[in-house]
Amino acid sequence: MALITRSLVAFVLLLSGVFAHAGEQAFDQKSFDDLRAAGKPVVVHVHAPWCPVCKKQAQVISALESEDRFKSLTVMRVDFDTEKAVQAALKVTSRSTLIAFKGETELGRSVGDTNPDSIAALLAKPLQ
């Protein structure tokens, strides 16, 4: 019985981690380039799965993405540990970095921010 309980708890924790960032999509250079060329709003989230700040940011972003005002926003996740070329191209030096783009223009970035209000303000910039 204890094994079943532990397995169930592990499964629930796994699911909660998945759904905390369900709205973010994995970074894909072609999709990123296409969205920017079309003038679409995009936010890049440089994330490390072991980073507590990144996890908190993902939770905040996930909650914000459920709001109607952010429906047209695409959030792309860059893996801090493996996607070094993308980070170099975007001049990212730290995990937990958020960068907002409208088309080809970078409108703002933040590092280490977990405040829902300031993250919402950054996510709103490319929607204006």
Residue 80: CATH number of its domain: 3.40.30.10
Does 9 score more than 60 pLDDT? no
- How confident is the model at residue 23, as a pLDDT? 72
Does 44 score more than 90 pLDDT? yes
- How confident is the model at residue 52, as a pLDDT? 97
The model's pLDDT over 59-116, given as tens digits with 9 standing for 90+, comes to 999 999 999 999 999 999 999 999 999 999 999 999 999 999 999 999 999 999 999 9
The mean pLDDT of the chain is 87
Identify the CA nearest to 114 among candidates 98, 93, 90, 91.
Answer: 98
Residue 19 Cα to chain centre, angstroms: 12
Cβ–Cβ under 8 Å, residues 45 and 76: yes
Helices (H), the chain: 2-19, 29-37, 52-65, 84-89, 116-124
- How confident is the model at residue 1, as a pLDDT? 54
pTM of the model: 0.81
Does 49 score more than 70 pLDDT? yes
Dist CA 89 CA 92 (whole Å): 8
Residue 80 domain boundaries: 2-127
Taking the C-alpha atoms of 55, 56, 57 and 62 in order, what is their torsion angle to the nearest 10 degrees? 90
Domains held by the chain: number: 1
- How confident is the model at residue 91, as a pLDDT? 97
- Is the alpha carbon torsion for 63, 73, 70, 102 positive or negative? positive
